[in-house]
Amino acid sequence: MARRSSRHLEMYGSEREKFMRAATVLHGALQDICRELTTSGDDYKALSALSQSVCEAITQVTGDAPPWAQSSAASSNGPRSA
């Protein structure tokens, strides 16, 4: 009988990279859909909450905010220098 490998508590570097790539693709897909919806609609709100959850998961796993959240925070703090 084949033995299952033991599970580990945290992702390894390559797993974190794979997670980041998948989460980034998901975030982009959610943003594409949200661009077609009004911000007051329930569907938009649900997709926005899902996108926020993805962002929080990335921050929890990697210790850093995802690149798209970092650039949003930087732009909300005033104009960026060129």
Q: What is the CA radius of gyration of the chain?
A: 17
Find the domain containing 36 and state its range.
14-64
Residue 30 — pLDDT band, cuts 50, 70, 90? very high
Confidence at residue 43, expressed as pLDDT on a 0 to 100 scale: 97
- Overall number of domains in the chain: 1
Residue 13 — pLDDT band, cuts 50, 70, 90? confident
Residue 7 resides in a domain: no
Pick the more confident residue, 4 or 25.
25
Per the CB < 8 A criterion, the answer to whether 15 and 8 are in contact is no
Residue 79 resides in a domain: no
- Stretch 51-67: mean pLDDT: 90
pTM to 2 decimal places? 0.70
Q: Work out the number of other CB atoms within 10 angstroms of the CB of residue 14.
A: 8
Residue 51 resides in a domain: yes
Mean pLDDT over all residues of the chain? 84
Residue 75 resides in a domain: no
The Cα–Cα gap between 53 and 51 comes to: 5
Residue 4 resides in a domain: no
Confidence at residue 38, expressed as pLDDT on a 0 to 100 scale: 96
Residue 77 resides in a domain: no
The Cα–Cα gap between 12 and 15 comes to: 5
